[in-house]
Amino acid sequence: MQPFVRWLGQLDFSFVWEYGIIVAASLLCIMFHEVSHGLTALALGDPTAKNAGRLSFNPIKHVDIFGLLMMAIFRFGWAKPVPIDMRNFKHPVQGMAITAAAGPLSNVVLAFVALCIRAGALYFNLRSGGAVSGFLVTFFEYVAVLSVGLAVFNVIPIPPLDGSKVVNALLPQRIYYKILRYEKYGFLIMIVVLYLGILNGPLNFCRNALLDGLTKISSFPFYILQSLFG
């Protein structure tokens, strides 16, 4: 038994801890994204998401397993879409566009808040150390990266991603409704695009640029604190 215990003690389980944090951060980003869609739709007159129980802060209700795996591995992914009935909107096409845009915008806001918390935790960690502040730095760094990745990926104008609904709102209605008929094939197109890596360069550039800008803005107050109090 002792040789087995010694062998077990030599194993490095840090990757398990890291992926546990990544999955937890992914669930938070996904939940925030989908609830924002549902709340926006509700504000515009569509209670479909609410009636389906999707205005829930239980992230499991919003998980698309494949999309979650993509977030954990590639830092880009998607969630299970909340049900929306655009017929309930006073202005259906515009209402759908606003509802769609709410998801990526909410993730940018979440990323900014996460980076502010991370900056504060990093400030205290540098001053006094501690496991809690160290964990907060790591967790909210992942939240920011994944949330920005979710936002950037979802603005791609490929159905059923949010960007397609925003772009389609700018098209004449007769073309808009024709495109909706082929929305079910969008997922296959999306898988092919991801598999071939066609958009890897632009996606990484946009994510890193947005993340860098948000990091600089969120860190500024703590640079001042550090200069004042050391």
pLDDT value of residue 133:
82
pLDDT value of residue 11:
44
Q: What Cα–Cα distance (Å) separates residue 61 from each residue in 30, 57, 75, 79, 154?
A: 10, 8, 20, 10, 19
pLDDT value of residue 230:
59
Taking the CA atoms of residue 73, residue 78, residue 80 and residue 84 in that order, the dihedral angle to the nearest 10 degrees is 180
Evaluate whether residue 221 is within a structural domain.
yes
Evaluate whether residue 1 is within a structural domain.
no
Range(s) of the domain holding residue 197: 17-79+86-229
Evaluate whether residue 57 is within a structural domain.
yes
Evaluate whether residue 172 is within a structural domain.
yes
CB 118 within 8 A of CB 144: yes
pLDDT value of residue 4:
41
Q: Which two tokens stand for residue 192?
A: 């092919």
Evaluate whether residue 11 is within a structural domain.
no
Question: pLDDT digit of tens for each residue in the chain (230 aa)?
Answer: 555 445 445 544 466 778 888 889 999 999 999 999 999 999 999 999 999 999 998 988 898 888 888 777 776 777 888 999 989 999 988 999 999 999 999 999 999 999 999 988 888 887 777 778 888 999 999 999 999 999 998 998 887 789 888 887 777 877 777 777 777 777 777 777 777 878 888 889 999 999 999 999 988 877 776 676 65
Q: What Cα–Cα distance (Å) separates residue 196 from each residue in 180, 190, 192, 193?
A: 25, 10, 6, 5
Amino acid 23 reads V
- What pTM does this model have? 0.84
- Write down how long the chain is: 230
Q: Which two tokens stand for residue 164?
A: 């397609």
Q: What is the number of structural domains in the chain?
A: 1
Max distance between CA atoms of the chain, in angstroms, equals 73
CB 146 within 8 A of CB 22: yes
Evaluate whether residue 62 is within a structural domain.
yes
Evaluate whether residue 9 is within a structural domain.
no
Evaluate whether residue 12 is within a structural domain.
no
CB 152 within 8 A of CB 203: yes
